[in-house]
Amino acid sequence: MIEQLGCGTTRSDELSALRTVAPAIAPSLLMCDFGNLKREIRRLEETDVPTLHLDVMDGHFVPNLSYGLPVVETVRRLTKLPLEVHLMIDNPREYIRRYRQAGADLITIHREAVADPRQALEAIRDCGAIAGMALNPGTPIAALECCFDLCDLVLVMSVEPGFGGQKFERVALSKLRELRARLGSEVLLEVDGGVNDATIAECAAAGADLLVVGSAIFKHSDYLARVRELSRLAHGS
């Protein structure tokens, strides 16, 4: 199990560990049973996933509300797995340190939500977290050219952010391929939205290191079997 950044590992160590296990499944807790959160996390830990993905939505940047700091804090108490907090919110710069203090190891913000992406990414790195930048399906890669050097991770959205269970948008595949060609292997690439049995192999082949999966895990009773099957498909076997 990969240790939380605050438990003796550095940001560089964490990035290296995640690159080593790629392509890997990153379960999104958005669709888990929050009434039995401790049990859900234990079941996910048993699958040996390397990280958990937490979607924070504010009802403004995206047309949906999810959870915030108290849930992140609770998840942090329940597991040592690295936590990626995906901030789908307005003014994410104002909340970076608070989510780091709540237990986030990776903090991903949206390019569409920040006027100065370099300042925001530097703030994430300054508080010791892995710095991620997300792109919506309609946002071109060119929007990140000003801050490639500060991105530890780039998250390619393959659906419009806000709701789970949407259909995969194939523009994500061409973005992943271009980003991998331009950024090499040092920057983690992640894909989120509509990742399932039918799309996961293409995502991994296009260069995704982390594959955010929600309904393709949580709509099934056997999480271990599902993660193993998705991992098998991601590895092309």
| pLDDT tens for each residue of 52-78 | 999 999 888 887 778 999 999 999 999
* Cα–Cα distance measured from residue 91 to residue 109, given in angstroms and rounded to the nearest whole number: 9
The reported pLDDT for the residue numbered 13 is 84
- What structural domains and CATH numbers belong to the chain? 5-234 (3.20.20.70)
Tokens of 152: 């530890």
Contact 72, 85 (CB under 8 A): yes
Catalytic-residue membership of 55 = yes
What percent of the chain is modeled with pLDDT above 70? 95
List b or e across 160-182, with b for residues whose CB sees 16 or more CB atoms inside 10 angstroms. ebbebeeebbeebbebbeebbee
The residue annotated as part of the active site, out of 149, 192, 197, 209, is 192
The residue annotated as part of the active site, out of 48, 55, 152, 209, is 55
Backbone angles phi, psi at 188, to 5 degrees: -70, 135
The reported pLDDT for the residue numbered 40 is 98
Global model pTM greater than 0.85:
yes
Interval 98-134: pLDDT, tens: 999 999 999 999 999 999 999 999 999 999 999 999 9
